[in-house]
Amino acid sequence: MKRVLSSIFVASSLLLGSTLASVSYAADAAPAKPDAKKGEQLFVNGDAARGILACASCHGAAGNSTIPTNPNLAAQPHEYLAKQLGDFRSKDGKQPPLRRGVNGANTVMTTFASQLTPEDMQNIALYLSQQKLDYDKAATATNEATMELGQKIWRGGIDERRVPACAACHSANGAGLPGEFPRLAGQFPSYIAEQLKLFRSGDRANGAMMHDIADRMSDSEIAAVADYAAGLR
């Protein structure tokens, strides 16, 4: 009887030790909570020791860009931004990044993102998600001739080619849906149009749904809806 009890005690002790070790390992492996202050430091100042340039030099103060080729990042969803940063670099060092430029060439963002750790990306993304888009300086619609077409596509899509309304995912006012779809209101029309064309060509391969949508759109339709989206508030 004593031997049986002793065996049970030893087995229980081993099981408990294993459980505690598993809990301890899980705690150690848990990702750190994103830190907006650290994200701000990287965005504003970079990290020369690691070869990280200040993001603000291209994307403007608090993510409010003044250069059409560099998108506004202020007030974009945290999860969306973190994912995009990750998609600019190869997942395994062998396959090309999911986000590439024209004709499949890597963009300058591949170089920048390759210097960042996953924690850096989360921190920068959280910081930017907390910033306000300066609508007084943000891009807006400029082509009155295509306004009606752009509005039609944004609100109702293109039925005959199964293009859904953009507002269904990016919201009626272009603010996007947190965690999944980006803010397009106030974004540069040329940048929006470029991304739709990259989705269409497959060079930007991190959104199968957007590829299917853009693939059914003409250049003129892309230009019209991009211009309209920029003017939303």
Q: For residue 31, what pLDDT band results from cuts at 50, 70 and 90?
A: low
User: How many angstroms separate the CA atoms of 206 and 24, rounded?
Assistant: 35
What is the CATH superfamily name and number for domain 144-230?
Cytochrome c-like domain (1.10.760.10)
Give the pair of three-digit tokens for residue 199.
């989705």
User: Residue 212: which H helix or E strand, with range?
Assistant: helix 208-214
Q: Residue 204 has what DSSP assignment?
A: B
Q: Where along the chain do the CATH 1.10.760.10 domains lie? A: 36-129, 144-230
CATH code for 36-129? 1.10.760.10
User: Residue 137: which H helix or E strand, with range?
Assistant: none
pLDDT at 178: 87
Q: What percent of the chain has pLDDT over 90?
A: 85
Q: What is the pTM of this model?
A: 0.86
Mean pLDDT of 37-64: 98
pLDDT at 214: 98
Q: For residue 229, what pLDDT band results from cuts at 50, 70 and 90?
A: very high
pLDDT at 179: 84
β-sheet bridge partners, residue 158? 163
Of 27-36, 100-109, 114-123, 221-230, which gets the smallest average pLDDT?
27-36
User: How many angstroms separate the CA atoms of 148 and 205, rounded?
Assistant: 30
In contact, 72 and 138? CB cutoff 8 Å = yes
Q: What percent of the chain has pLDDT over 70?
A: 87
pLDDT, one tens digit per residue, over 57-75 is 999 999 999 999 999 999 9
Mean pLDDT of 209-213: 98
pLDDT at 14: 36
Cβ within 8 Å of residue 136, ≥6 positions away: none
pLDDT, one tens digit per residue, over 73-112 is 999 999 999 999 999 999 998 999 999 999 999 999 999 9
pLDDT, one tens digit per residue, over 165-203 is 999 999 999 999 988 899 999 999 999 999 999 999 999
